[in-house]
Structure 1
C-alpha cells in the first residue's frame, strides 16, 4: 500500500515531540516556571498520537474486508510482519543500552528483550531506555487486534455495518476510563502501563479507519481543517495547565488523569482527522506535512524514537553533565544531529532489511504441481 506522506509527517512531529520532551526533562527545563516549560512537559501527547496512528493504519485492512468484501488480513502473516517491523531495531537498541549502562542479571535482560518490563515490579528504567515503556503497549495491541477485529466484525455483520462497527469500537474508551478509576481506587499506578488504559487512543484510530473506508472523504472535515488544527493547539495549551495534573513525577489524582486522557485524545483526533478523513493531497496542510523532508523523517521516526534516549544518555555520560542541568539549545542540537545520523543508518540497515526478510519469509508456497515444487530453481 502506498504510504501517506502527510501521516508520515505527523509521525515525524510526534517523534520530535518525544525527543524535545526528554531534552527538556534531562536539562531540567520542564521543571522551571513559564509557559514554555509547561508546554514541553505535555509533549507526551505524542504517544497517544502514535497509538492513534497504529489503530488507524493497522485496522483499516480489516475494515476494508468487511465493508468492501476484500480479502481479510491473515492473522499469522500480520503478526509475523509486525514482529519483523518492530523487534529487530528494538533488540539492537535495547541490547546495546543494557550492555553499556546496566548491571542487570539474565532475568532483567530477558524482561527487557521480551517486552515484559511493564508487567513486573516497576523499578527505574535502565539508562537510555526510559522511552521504551510504550513498546509493550504497542505490542499488546498488535497481538489483540486480530481477535478484536474478529469480534467487531461478528457484531457488525447484521444491520448497518459501519454504524455497528463504530458502536462496537465505542466500548473501548469506556474500558480506558474504567482502568483509570480502578487503578486509583486500588492504588495500582502500574495499570497505566497496560493496554486497557490506552485503548481510547487506539479506538480513536480504529474509528477513523471505519470512517475513512466508509465515507472516503468527509467534506465538512476538509472545510473545517484549519479550525480543527487551531483547536488542537488550543486544547494542547489547556493540557499544559494544572488541569491535567502536575508536571513532576507526582502522580495525578483520578480527576486529573481523566482530564488528561480526554484532552490528549482530543488533541490527537483533531490533529490527525484533517489528514485521515479529508486526504486532499493538493491542500496546503498536506503539502506542508507531506513534503519529502517531513515524509522521510516520518519513515525513520521509529528508529529516531528508539535511539534518541540512548544518544541523550551518551551525551550526559561523555560530557559529565549532571542530570537536570545543561544548556537546552546545546543539548538539543547535538543530540538531534547524533540521533538523526544513527537513525538513518538504523532505518536503512535494520528496519528495511527486516521488512524484506518478513516478506520473503511470508511468501505463499507454490502449488504442488508448479515447476518450482518439482525442481529447485537455479541460484542467481
Structure 2
C-alpha cells in the first residue's frame, strides 16, 4: 500500500519491513532504526554467546526480539491508515491490486537478492523445492530443523507478507462492520477481535503441541491490531493531548515493562519452548511495550518536542530509511564474518564482532537501498519525501479577565 502524502500527512513513514515511501515522519523512521539495530544486537549477542551468560544485561539483550512486534505494529499503523481514513472521512479507499503490486515491488526484490546470495553461498545440496520455498516466502509453513546460514532472521518475512495479503480483506470486513453506528468505535471493536485470535492461537499451539503456529500470522495479529487501532485513533482524534503530556512517563513505563519482559516471567532465553503462561505473558508484555514506544510519536506527533528531535535527527532518520536492507543484510554479514575468521559458534568478542558486522551491514544496506530499493520505489510510482514543516500555530485571543 502506497498512500499519497496527503493521505498520510503528519504520520507517514516507510513500513518497517518493506515499507511505503512518501511523506515521512523522522521520529517513526528513528523507531525503525532502533528496532533494526535491536535485532542486530540480539543476533550478535546470540552468535557470541553473550545472551546465554548470567546477569541482567544478558537477559535484556535476549529480549531485543521486541523489535519484531514494533515492526509489526508500525506495519498495521501505516498500512491500514488509508482504509481507516476512508471509513471515517469518506475518502476513496486504496485499490487492492495497486496496493499489492506496490507491496511486492517494495519487499520482494531486495529479499530475493539477499536470499539467493545466502543460499548460493551456504545452502549445500538444496533441491528445487527448498529454493522455491524460500523464494516464495513459504519457509514458515514447512517443518525445518534449522534455517540456512545467514537467513535465520527471515522468519518474520512470511508473517509480514501474509498480513499484506489479508489486509485488504480485513479492511473490507471492518468497513462492512462499521457502516452503521459510530464508525470509529465500531472499527475499534472489530479490530479488538484480532488480539483474541492471537491468544487463541497461542493456547492452541500448546494444547495441541504445535509450536510452528508461532510462525504464522494469527499468532502475531495482536501486534498488527495495535497498529491498526492507532491508525483509527490518529484519523479520528488527530492528536491526543494526554498522550503528548504523558509521553515521557509512557516511555519510562516502556523501559520498566521491558525489564519485566527480560525476566523468566516471559519464558527462557534459550531455544527451550516456553510454557503457556510464559507465552501469554510475553505476548502481552511485548504488545504493551510496543504500544508505549510508538504511541508518543504516532498519536502525539508534535515535531517540535525533544523526543521527536532526538529520534528524528538526520542520522537515525536515514538509518530508518535503510532499515529494511539492514534487517536483510545483517545476518549474512554476521555469518560471513564467522566463516572468514573461522570463529566458532557461540564464541568471539562481542565488541569486535559488533564493530565489523555493523560497518559491513551498513555498507551493504546503503548499496542495496540506493541501487535496488529506490529504483523499485520509483517503479511503483512512489518517491520518498520529507514531511513538510509544521504550520505556525494560529494566535489565540487572551481570555478576558474575570
Which TM-score band (shorter chain)?
A: over 0.9
Tell me which of 285, 291, 303 is aligned to 1:263. 285
TM-fit CA distance, 1:68:
1.1
- Structure 1 range deviating more: 93-102 or 103-112: 103-112
Tell me which of 77, 99, 113 is aligned to 1:56. 77
2-structure distance, mates of 1:225, 1:105: 52
1:159-178 equivalent positions in 2, closer than 5 A: 159-178=181-200
2-structure distance, mates of 1:327, 1:50: 29
The answer as to 2:329 corresponding to 1:310 is no
The answer as to 2:24 corresponding to 1:10 is no
Contact 1:131 1:306 in 2 (8 A): yes
2-structure distance, mates of 1:122, 1:226: 43
| Equivalent position of 2:151 in the other structure | 129
2-structure distance, mates of 1:172, 1:45: 19
Secondary structure of 2:282's counterpart equals helix
2-structure distance, mates of 1:231, 1:121: 38
TM-fit CA distance, 1:93:
0.1
TM-fit CA distance, 1:98:
0.1
| Equivalent position of 2:227 in the other structure | 205
TM-fit CA distance, 1:123:
2.4
1:45-80 Cα distance to aligned partner (Å, 9 max, x none): 000000000000000000111111111100000000
1:281-307 Cα distance to aligned partner (Å, 9 max, x none): 000000000111111100000000000
1:144-155 equivalent positions in 2, closer than 5 A: 144-155=166-177
The answer as to 2:122 corresponding to 1:118 is no
Return the structure number with greater helix share.
Answer: 1
Tell me which of 35, 55, 68 is aligned to 1:47. 68
2-structure distance, mates of 1:120, 1:333: 35
Q: Give the structure-1-normalised TM-score.
A: 0.94
The answer as to 2:109 corresponding to 1:88 is yes
Secondary structure of 2:24's counterpart equals coil
Contact 1:122 1:190 in 2 (8 A): no
Secondary structure of 1:359's counterpart equals coil
Secondary structure of 2:98's counterpart equals helix
2-structure distance, mates of 1:342, 1:276: 30
TM-fit CA distance, 1:108:
0.4
2-structure distance, mates of 1:147, 1:123: 33
2-structure distance, mates of 1:351, 1:256: 39
1:261-286 Cα distance to aligned partner (Å, 9 max, x none): 00000000000000000000000000
The answer as to 2:322 corresponding to 1:300 is yes
2-structure distance, mates of 1:358, 1:281: 29
1:71-129 Cα distance to aligned partner (Å, 9 max, x none): 11000000000000000000000000000000211110100000000001122000000
2-structure distance, mates of 1:105, 1:240: 40
1-structure distance, mates of 2:25, 2:101: 23
| Number of residues of Structure 1 aligned to a counterpart in Structure 2 | 360
Give 5+ residue unaligned stretches, structure 2.
Answer: 6-22, 383-402
TM-fit CA distance, 1:354:
1.0
1:4-61 Cα distance to aligned partner (Å, 9 max, x none): 1100100000000000000000000000001110000000000000000000000000
Tell me which of 75, 79, 104 is aligned to 2:100. 79
The answer as to 2:246 corresponding to 1:224 is yes
2-structure distance, mates of 1:47, 1:218: 26
1-structure distance, mates of 2:372, 2:264: 41
Q: Give the structure-2-normalised TM-score.
A: 0.89
The answer as to 2:367 corresponding to 1:345 is yes
| Equivalent position of 1:182 in the other structure | 204
1:218-243 Cα distance to aligned partner (Å, 9 max, x none): 00000000000000000000000000
Tell me which of 53, 56, 79 is aligned to 1:32. 53
| Equivalent position of 1:369 in the other structure | none
| Equivalent position of 2:42 in the other structure | 21
1-structure distance, mates of 2:194, 2:87: 20
1:180-207 Cα distance to aligned partner (Å, 9 max, x none): 0000000000000000000000000000
The answer as to 2:282 corresponding to 1:234 is no
RMSD: 0.7
